[in-house]
Amino acid sequence: MVVADKLRLILSKRPVGARVEGCTAVGPRLGALTKMKARVHITLKSGVLDPQGKAIGHALASLGFAGVNDVRQGKVIELDLSETDRSRAEAAVKSMCEKLLANTVIENYSIEIKG
């Protein structure tokens, strides 16, 4: 059993927020085990109307910001992963995007893995 698995076992038997000697976890229980970070950029596909982008564009113009021709609004999702293998981390995040994070009918996504 590797150290990460032992720590998961210890933490799974303790109430949330309980201290574990020698552990400096912050946030969620397994915060100390974070090995990689993923950032997912999600944007609407070209050709899909973007009413939020239009509203932002109009607001910028009304505030005096000239020269903005078009605005496309998107979202960024950051994930802390316990995975240590880069290819498995990327595959897992891709699966998350396909199943939940992005509506692939109208949205594109790109994945950045760090760590």
Torsion angles phi and psi, residue 40, rounded to 5 = -110, 125
Asked if the model's pLDDT at residue 16 lies above 80, the reply is: no
Mean pLDDT of 4-23: 56
Q: In this predicted structure, what is the pLDDT of residue 35? A: 86
* Residues 41-83 pLDDT 10s: 999 999 999 999 999 999 999 999 999 999 999 999 999 999 9
Query: Between the CA of residue 37 and those of 22, 34, 83, what are the distances in Å?
Result: 23, 8, 9
Q: In this predicted structure, what is the pLDDT of residue 24? A: 47
Q: In this predicted structure, what is the pLDDT of residue 64? A: 96
Helix (H, G, I), strand (E, B) or coil at 60: helix
What is the CATH topology of the domain spanning 34-114?
Mth169; Chain: A , (3.30.1280)
5 band by pLDDT with thresholds 50, 70 and 90: low
Domain ranges in the chain are 1-33, 34-114
Computed over every residue of the chain, the mean pLDDT equals: 84
pTM over 0.85: no
